[in-house]
């Protein structure tokens, strides 16, 4: 099969020879005849290609002839592209050269230039003659081989008849029984040995049968998801060519990072930390080899009992070697299901009508697919593009159309053969991506363009034609898993592994993926044109000499030396990773069209990059340290796509890049005089897509806006204009009239979305460009944000009838929306679907136009937040589905919800932060599914009826009820949980409602219990007056959490009936609750209960037989009552937490021996605790004993720890305050087994302790150390430098601490990533830039953030240019300090992906502040 498609691409290259030769003939005088001869020979050869392509499978001489032809065609293309470069260079340098005043120098320059040109012409002429000779020889051989001329038909136009195939990815036919079988296997724990914890389920079958699809169906099933606490999908695809390992792929997916230099042990430890004690569902998709499975299985054993691994594989021996307890052999899909799938694809939207003749042919095609879904899917997509009976008949009789066994590639090959010729090249190029890689559409098309694959008469339309090629591949099922943006355009996709195999097969020896082969192997590089380097950094690699002469694509996932790639003379696509500098010799790569650099250490680009005149795409978006671009980059007139980091200034004179299509992600303007102003957009009329313009405050003259000529940017569909934070203060000190600047805007005519952010003016005059609504007939979304000086909102909604989404936020001076006053106009938007009003703190009235009573007939979503003064608002929203009201005036809420009859479509209601509001929900809301109420005064949900029926018939669709902090919320009707009117209800959360009494009777009513089988979750917390709850008959309930107060005589009815229960928390439940017929005793059995938390309850007599699945137990204030429960369930427990049990003295030796599976033990605030004997707890991985004031010595012996080799984390401290030292084991060296296994240690002190135990220095395997509450500790010990494995050091609440160890000792901690210091005021003060301790910080440490107050953490990263996550902790209320510190942090040149802020009070103000900071950069 490889030979049959080896020559694809020759035809396209030969087609280009004529056009290229014709365009460049001006530089080729002297060889014009040679060029014409070459063109003629190429035309003759092209006529026999079809015959040669067929005959090469049988005749080796024809195959060799085609190989020579392909090499020669590449050589000609390279020569003509060099000529094209020289032409372009001459044109650019002549047009933009500086005038030389000195006459002699001017003559000398012309002489040298002419001499160089003459040399170039002679050189090219010689090469053309050489290639012509080769083509003459090839033409002669053509006659000897007796190849016949055939006139190939023209490629049919690419039809875009709908994207039905893109929307059917989740449709599966005929796998319902298999799905049920796998789910049943997942639920079966009988085959899992108690000591093993994990079992493997294999789905076996040859390629294309749908193994991955079946696994996805199971993985995404909601009921399956609820059975596991951790899920992860791992695409292994570790066939012989991938270089992947099972352990490496598991690490990459679960830890979300590359293994890089980590060895097996290090990867295993990180995975163990991630997975331990969790009930796992892992899918290993497309496993070819089970090498390293034993390593992975050992790691997975740390998960909870009942964990499962689903493996999809083509090999039964893989399933056997992995110890699969169940194997499902996937069989062929039935004919009827295959026909249903084919019919959906072939006759779907945009396809032909299903006539009898076409159906007959289609059924024959389906038969030849022999039940293979991938083949049926591919053929259905192919036939969708065939429009005549003859075309259908030709496909049916094709020799390739017969799937035998697992030879599905035959069918895929048939689909490939029917692609238009240029699209074939584009498809085979996709082989450069790894299997299962996410392929970004825009990036792929740009690489196609770089290689010249896109055939287009007009260069301006190349992106459009490339998008058509991409759609063609999608519609023919070569791509899958498409991701769409909000405009339903595809942004990315993936390839099925068999489709990827086909692409690799077609690409053949032209592609070399260097990932796993030994570098001493004899690799034939004679035909290599594309190289992907995926080796680890540690593996040495040097490029063979013959490779640089022919390579066209080089993609590296590791650093490569400059002297290696600068010799790639004919390179078109170059992707460099993690390099520190770019060689000035890059200018030698004259054919380079696509350059991507990913580096966090690159600080500059050489000036010579401005000589890459063919460059079309430059992607330096992830070069965060790159601040400026070379001055002459405006010479890159062919540049179409520029991706730069937000920290990088736009290049000077960027307006001369006339070919530019996109500047991403943001265009940061500079001064007009500096060549970075908005006026530079004047000639960039090819810009398309999303244009984000920041630093609009630099535009001070309306004439500059007019000069930009935005109205001529017809392909710009999204426009965002941002004035940064400094604009408001700048406006006070300048004469700039920002209103005139905005008024001068002339928006692109095809604009879809428009956003103005941070406008500092008082008036926003937009009438000039909105006056004619027809000129912006596509505009559907407008956002006005952070315009804090505006006093009135311009009449956008009235003038723009096409508007569907409107967001107005942070308008501090706007008091009125709508009405008939002269300054505003009625808010009437007939097509509006989404309306958001946010942070409009002085808004009082939102008035409808009296002549248009229903101004929002199609509004679906209404969000009103932080509008606390709103009094008047509309109430007629017949189509609204979601209403969210947060911190709105009481009268405003009443007004918005005053007409329940107009809210018949409402599905979700969220009302919060209205302390004075008493909300009435007694009216009918027939479609309402979700209710979220928080922090309001009161709530009434019970409506009266003629027969005193208390059930919520007015809320028949309710699925979720969540009520928090409503002090006047009293009750729900008795029987509400079981009533038929609540049959859709799944969750009920009621938190901190002080007067809530439960589910009470209505006068004179006695209702039968009508069970609601869908209810899955009930949480009742801190409801002080809760009297009763009836949960009897809730057979689907999985989570029940109840918090009560012991001074009430409360009751819970029906606990014994909760057979599906998995998580039960009883907090403060008194004895009376658990007595009588509903007692938790001998008659009670919860077979699926895994988590039980009993906090302050009593009368518990459960046994192990009643809780067979229990793994996690927490008890509080329950001794001696809880002693029996502990003893009974000890064998199955994995986690045990005992807290506030003041009478608990510990365990006897016999009791400890019963905890054979315990992995985590936490004992907190148990003042009577005595030292423990832990020798028998061999499975223990985490141990915590803190704040047990009765302990006066180390709570266990060193002999005990010797018997616990798996202990990973130890937390101790807070012992008797009579002690003046922290007791610790007398460790003499680091050879003890537990010393090498312990990775994390947290120690807690008290006031009398002045030093840390010296024995800690022997814990050399320790990776994390936390030192907490040692207020009398003055200095950290010098021996801290002995902890050579330390990665993280945290110091909290050590208020007397002043000194770090010496600089020499800190330098010994070579693995240390971070030091966190929190609430240590003396030390923080001494660590300021001029502080006494600052010189101790080693030179290679990077101080990321020093807090400005004593409340915070100090984050320090050593040798790190980027922070993936930044955390700020605060225990106090100093909001100003948080704000100042956060501003300082954001001002650093750091590349962080998230910020976590923990702050006890004033959360709203802090969140608002963070929102503002992030908005303005």
In this prediction, residues 1084-1099 reach a mean pLDDT of 78
- Whether 850 and 827 have beta carbons less than 8 Å apart is answered as no
In this prediction, residues 232-255 reach a mean pLDDT of 73
pLDDT tens track for 289-336: 777 788 888 888 888 888 899 999 887 878 888 888 888 888 888 888
Taking the C-alpha atoms of residue 878 and residue 890, their distance in angstroms, rounded to an integer, is 22
In this prediction, residues 1048-1073 reach a mean pLDDT of 73
In this prediction, residues 1151-1175 reach a mean pLDDT of 84
> Angle at which helices 389-396 and 356-368 pack, to 10 degrees?
20
Structure tokens at 405: 């066994």
Q: Which of the two residues, 550 and 401, has the higher pLDDT score?
A: 550
For residue 1097, name the pLDDT band (cuts at 50, 70, 90). low
* DSSP assignment string, 1013-1064: TT--EEEEES-TT--EEE-TT-TT--EEEEE--TTS--EEE-GGG-TT--EE
Taking the C-alpha atoms of residue 666 and residue 648, their distance in angstroms, rounded to an integer, is 10
pLDDT, position 304: 82
Structure tokens at 5: 């498609």
- Whether 445 and 467 have beta carbons less than 8 Å apart is answered as yes
Can you list the alpha helix ranges (DSSP code H) found in 1299-1390? 1303-1308, 1321-1326, 1375-1387
In this prediction, residues 1375-1385 reach a mean pLDDT of 48
In this prediction, residues 1146-1163 reach a mean pLDDT of 83
Sheet hosting strand 230-235, strand order edge to edge: 230-235, 280-287, 307-313, 198-204, 324-329
DSSP state letter for 193: -
Structure tokens at 1257: 């220095």
pLDDT tens track for 893-907: 888 888 888 888 899
- On the question of pLDDT at 165 being above 80, the answer is no
Sheet hosting strand 490-494, strand order edge to edge: 439-440, 490-494, 480-484
- Whether 988 and 1015 have beta carbons less than 8 Å apart is answered as yes
- On the question of pLDDT at 811 being above 70, the answer is yes
**What's the Cα-to-Cα distance from 560 to each of 361, 549, 772, rounded to whole Å?**
55, 18, 57
Q: Which of 1024, 1031, 1020 is nearest to 1053 (CA)?
A: 1031
Residue 711 CB coordination number (10 Å)? 15
In this prediction, residues 629-639 reach a mean pLDDT of 91
For residue 620, name the pLDDT band (cuts at 50, 70, 90). very high
In this prediction, residues 796-821 reach a mean pLDDT of 78
Residue percentage of the chain with pLDDT more than 70: 75
pLDDT, position 1398: 44
pLDDT tens track for 95-129: 665 544 455 455 545 544 555 666 777 777 778 88
For residue 849, name the pLDDT band (cuts at 50, 70, 90). low
Report the mean per-residue pLDDT for the chain.
Answer: 77
Q: Which of 429, 423, 427 is nearest to 469 (CA)?
A: 423
Phi, psi (5° rounding) for residue 382? -65, -45
**What's the Cα-to-Cα distance from 233 to each of 307, 1132, 1145, 1330, rounded to whole Å?**
14, 28, 45, 51
Beta strand 987-991 with 960-964 is: parallel
Least confident stretch, 421-430, 544-553, 1273-1282, 1338-1347: 1338-1347
Q: Which of 27, 20, 23 is nearest to 114 (CA)?
A: 27
Q: What is the pTM of this model?
A: 0.74
If you average pLDDT over each of 51-55, 518-522, 594-598, which comes out highest? 594-598
pLDDT, position 1278: 93
Taking the C-alpha atoms of residue 1215 and residue 945, their distance in angstroms, rounded to an integer, is 62
Q: Which of 1221, 1250, 1224 is nearest to 1235 (CA)?
A: 1224
Helix (H, G, I), strand (E, B) or coil at 231: strand
Q: Which of the two residues, 17 and 331, has the higher pLDDT score?
A: 331
For residue 164, name the pLDDT band (cuts at 50, 70, 90). very low
pLDDT tens track for 1211-1255: 999 888 888 888 877 666 666 666 777 889 999 998 888 999 888
pLDDT, position 595: 96
In this prediction, residues 1394-1401 reach a mean pLDDT of 44
Least confident stretch, 920-934, 1099-1113, 1145-1159: 1099-1113
Q: What is the CB-side half-sphere exposure of residue 1125 using CA atoms within 13 A?
A: 26
Where does residue 243 fall: left (phi above 0), alpha (psi -120 to 50 degrees), or beta otherwise?
left
Taking the C-alpha atoms of residue 194 and residue 369, their distance in angstroms, rounded to an integer, is 45
* DSSP assignment string, 663-719: EES-EE---GGGT-SGGGGTT-TT-EEEEEEE-GGG---HHHHHHH-GGG-TEEEEE
Helix (H, G, I), strand (E, B) or coil at 978: coil
pLDDT tens track for 723-779: 986 555 554 555 567 788 888 888 898 899 999 999 988 887 665 555 544 567 888
- Whether 411 and 458 have beta carbons less than 8 Å apart is answered as no
First and final CA of the chain: distance in angstroms? Answer: 56
pLDDT tens track for 1109-1123: 888 999 888 766 666
Burial of 347 (0-12, 13-18, 19+ CB in 10 A): buried
Structure tokens at 1361: 């240019």
Beta strand 480-484 with 490-494 is: antiparallel
**What's the Cα-to-Cα distance from 279 to each of 231, 282, 309, rounded to whole Å?**
9, 10, 11
> Angle at which helices 462-475 and 421-429 pack, to 10 degrees?
80
Where does residue 284 fall: left (phi above 0), alpha (psi -120 to 50 degrees), or beta otherwise?
beta
In this prediction, residues 868-888 reach a mean pLDDT of 89
For residue 159, name the pLDDT band (cuts at 50, 70, 90). very low
pLDDT, position 5: 37
């Amino acid at each position: 099969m490889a030979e049959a498609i080896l020559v694809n691409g020759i035809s396209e290259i030969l087609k280009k020879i004529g056009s290229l030769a014709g365009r460049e003939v001006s530089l080729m005088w002297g060889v014009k005849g040679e060029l014409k001869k070459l063109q003629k020979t190429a035309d003759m050869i092209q006529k026999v290609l079809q015959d040669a392509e067929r005959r090469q499978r049988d005749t080796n001489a024809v195959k060799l002839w085609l190989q020579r032809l392909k090499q020669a065609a590449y050589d000609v293309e390279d020569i003509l592209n060099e000529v094209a470069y020289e032409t372009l260079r001459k044109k650019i340098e002549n047009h933009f050269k500086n005038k030389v005043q000195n006459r002699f120098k001017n003559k000398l320059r012309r002489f040298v230039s002419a001499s160089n040109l003459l040399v170039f012409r002679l050189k090219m002429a010689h090469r053309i003659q050489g290639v012509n000779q080769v083509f003459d020889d090839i033409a002669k051989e053509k006659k000897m081989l007796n190849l016949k001329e055939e006139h190939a038909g023209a490629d049919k136009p690419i039809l875009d008849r709908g994207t039905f195939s893109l929307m059917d990815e989740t449709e599966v036919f005929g796998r319902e029984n298999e799905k049920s079988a796998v789910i049943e296997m997942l639920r079966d724990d009988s085959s899992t040995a108690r000591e093993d914890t994990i079992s493997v389920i294999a789905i076996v079958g040859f390629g294309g049968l749908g193994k991955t699809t079946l696994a996805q169906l199971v993985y995404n099933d909601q009921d399956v998801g609820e059975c596991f606490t951790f899920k992860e999908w791992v695409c292994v695809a570790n066939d012989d060519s991938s270089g992947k390992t099972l352990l490496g792929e598991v690490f990459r997916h679960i830890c979300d990072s590359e293994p890089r230099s980590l060895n097996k042990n290090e990867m295993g430890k990180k995975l163990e930390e991630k997975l331990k004690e969790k009930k796992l569902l892992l899918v290993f998709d497309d496993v070819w080899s089970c090498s390293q499975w034993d390593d992975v299985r050992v790691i997975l054993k740390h998960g909870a009992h009942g964990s499962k691994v689903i493996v999809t594989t083509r090999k039964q021996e893989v399933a056997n070697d992995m110890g699969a307890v169940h194997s499902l052999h996937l069989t062929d899909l039935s004919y009827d299901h295959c026909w249903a799938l084919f019919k959906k694809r072939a006759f779907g939207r945009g396809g032909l009508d299903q006539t009898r003749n076409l159906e007959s042919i289609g059924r024959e095609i389906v038969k030849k697919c022999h039940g293979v879904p991938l083949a049926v899917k591919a053929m259905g997509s192919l036939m969708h593009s065939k429009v005549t009976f003859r075309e259908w008949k030709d496909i049916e009789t094709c020799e390739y159309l017969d799937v035998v066994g697992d030879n599905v590639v035959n069918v895929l090959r048939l689909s490939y053969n029917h692609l238009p010729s240029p699209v074939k090249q584009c498809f085979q190029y996709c082989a450069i991506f790894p299997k299962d890689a996410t392929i970004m559409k825009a990036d792929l098309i740009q690489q196609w363009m770089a290689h010249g694959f896109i055939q287009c008469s007009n260069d301006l339309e190349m992106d459009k034609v490339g998008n058509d090629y991409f759609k063609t591949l999608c519609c023919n099922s070569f791509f899958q898993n498409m991701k769409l943006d909000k405009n339903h355009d595809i942004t990315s996709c993936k390839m099925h592994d068999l489709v990827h195999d086909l692409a690799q097969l077609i690409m053949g020896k032209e592609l070399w993926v260097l990932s796993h082969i030994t570098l001493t192997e004899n690799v034939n590089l004679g035909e290599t044109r594309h190289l992907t380097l995926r080796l680890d950094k540690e593996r040495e690699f040097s490029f063979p000499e013959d490779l640089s002469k022919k390579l066209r694509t080089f993609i590296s996932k590791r650093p490569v030396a400059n002297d290696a790639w600068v010799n790639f003379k004919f390179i078109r696509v170059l992707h460099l990773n993690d390099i520190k500098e770019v060689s000035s010799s890059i200018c030698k790569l004259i054919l380079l069209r696509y350059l991507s650099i990913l580096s966090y250490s690159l600080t500059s680009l050489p000036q010579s990059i401005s000589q890459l005149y063919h460059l079309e795409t430059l992607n330096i978006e992830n070069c965060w340290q790159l601040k400026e671009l070379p001055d002459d980059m405006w010479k890159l007139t062919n540049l179409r796509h520029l991706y730069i980091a937000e920290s990088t200034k736009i290049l000077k004179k960027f307006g001369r890049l006339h070919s530019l299509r996109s500047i991403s992600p943001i265009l940061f303007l500079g001064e007009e005089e500096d060549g970075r102003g908005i006026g530079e957009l004047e000639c960039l009329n090819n810009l398309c897509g999303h244009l984000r313009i920041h630093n609009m405050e630099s535009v001070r003259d309306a004439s500059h806006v007019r000069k930009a000529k935005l109205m001529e940017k017809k392909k710009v569909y999204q426009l965002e204009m941002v004035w940064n934070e400094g604009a408001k203060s700048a406006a006070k000190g300048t004469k700039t009239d920002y209103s005139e600047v905005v008024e001068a805007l002339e928006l692109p005519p095809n604009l879809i979305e428009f956003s103005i952010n941070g406008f500092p003016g008082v008036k926003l005059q937009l009438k000039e460009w909105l006056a004619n609504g027809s000129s912006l007939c596509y505009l559907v979304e407008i956002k006005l944000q952070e315009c804090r000086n505006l006093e009135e909102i311009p009449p956008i909604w009235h003038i723009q009838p096409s508007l569907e989404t409107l967001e107005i936020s942070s308008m501090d001076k706007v008091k009125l929306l709508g009405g008939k006053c002269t300054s505003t106009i009625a808010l009437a938007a007939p097509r509006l679907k989404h309306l958001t009003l946010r942070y409009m703190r002085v808004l009082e009235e939102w008035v409808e136009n009296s002549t248009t009573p229903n101004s929002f007939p199609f509004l679906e979503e209404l969000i009103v937040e932080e509008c606390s003064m709103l009094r008047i608002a509309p109430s007629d929203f017949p189509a609204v589905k979601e209403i969210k009201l947060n911190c709105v005036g009481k009268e405003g809420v009443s007004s918005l919800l005053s007409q329940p009859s107009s809210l018949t479509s409402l599905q979700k209601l969220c009302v919060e932060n209205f302390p004075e509001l008493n909300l009435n929900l007694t009216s009918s809301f027939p479609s309402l599914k979700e209710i979220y109420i928080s922090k309001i005064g009161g709530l009434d949900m019970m409506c009266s009826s003629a027969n005193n029926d208390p059930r919520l018939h007015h809320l028949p669709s309710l699925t979720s009820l969540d009520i928090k902090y409503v002090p006047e919320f009293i009750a729900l009707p008795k029987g509400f949980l079981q009533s038929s009117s609540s049959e859709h209800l799944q969750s009920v959360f009621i938190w901190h409602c002080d007067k809530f009494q439960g589910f009470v009777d209505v006068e004179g009513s006695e209702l039968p219990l009508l069970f609601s089988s869908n209810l899955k979750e009930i949480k009742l917390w801190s409801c002080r007056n809760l009297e009763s709850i009836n949960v009897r008959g809730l057979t689907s309930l999985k989570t029940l959490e109840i918090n009560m107060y012991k001074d009430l005589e409360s009751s819970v009815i029906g606990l014994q009936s909760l057979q599906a229960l998995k998580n039960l928390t009883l907090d403060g439940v008194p004895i009376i609750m658990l007595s009588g017929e509903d007692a938790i005793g001998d008659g009670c059995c919860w077979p699926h209960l895994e988590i039980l938390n009993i906090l302050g309850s009593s009368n518990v007599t459960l046994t192990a037989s009643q809780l067979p699945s229990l793994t996690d137990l927490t008890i509080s204030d329950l001794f001696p009552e809880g002693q029996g429960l502990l003893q009974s369930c000890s064998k199955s427990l994995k986690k045990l937490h005992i807290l506030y049990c003041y009478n608990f003295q510990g365990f006897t030796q016999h009791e400890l021996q019963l905890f054979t599976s315990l992995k985590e033990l936490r004992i907190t605030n148990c003042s009577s605790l005595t030292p423990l004997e832990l020798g028998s707890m061999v499975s223990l991985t985490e141990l915590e004993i803190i704040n047990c004031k009765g302990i006066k010595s180390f709570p266990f012996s060193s002999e005990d720890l010797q018997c616990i080799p798996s202990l990973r984390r130890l937390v101790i401290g807070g012992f008797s305050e009579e002690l003046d030292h922290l007791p610790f084991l007398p460790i003499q060296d680091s050879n003890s087994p537990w010393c090498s296994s312990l990775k994390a240690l947290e120690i807690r002190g008290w006031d009398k302790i002045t030093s840390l135990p010296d024995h800690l220095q022997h814990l050399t395997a320790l990776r994390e150390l936390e030192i907490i509450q040692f207020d009398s500790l003055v200095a950290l010990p010098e021996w801290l430098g002995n902890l050579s494995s330390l990665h993280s050091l945290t110091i909290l609440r050590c208020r007397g601490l002043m000194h770090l160890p010496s600089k020499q000792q800190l330098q010994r901690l070579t693995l240390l990533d971070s030091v966190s210091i929190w609430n240590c005021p003396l030390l923080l003060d001494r660590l300021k830039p001029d502080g006494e301790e600052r010189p101790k910080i080693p030179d290679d440490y990077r101080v990321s953030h020093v807090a400005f107050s004593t409340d915070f953490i100090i984050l320090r990263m050593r040798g790190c240019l980027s922070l993936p996550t930044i955390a700020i902790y605060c225990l106090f209320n100093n909001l100003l300090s948080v704000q100042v510190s956060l501003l300082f942090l954001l001002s650093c040149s750091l590349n962080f992906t998230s910020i976590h802020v923990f702050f006890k009070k004033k959360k709203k103000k802090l969140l608002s502040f963070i929102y503002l900071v992030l908005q303005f950069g």
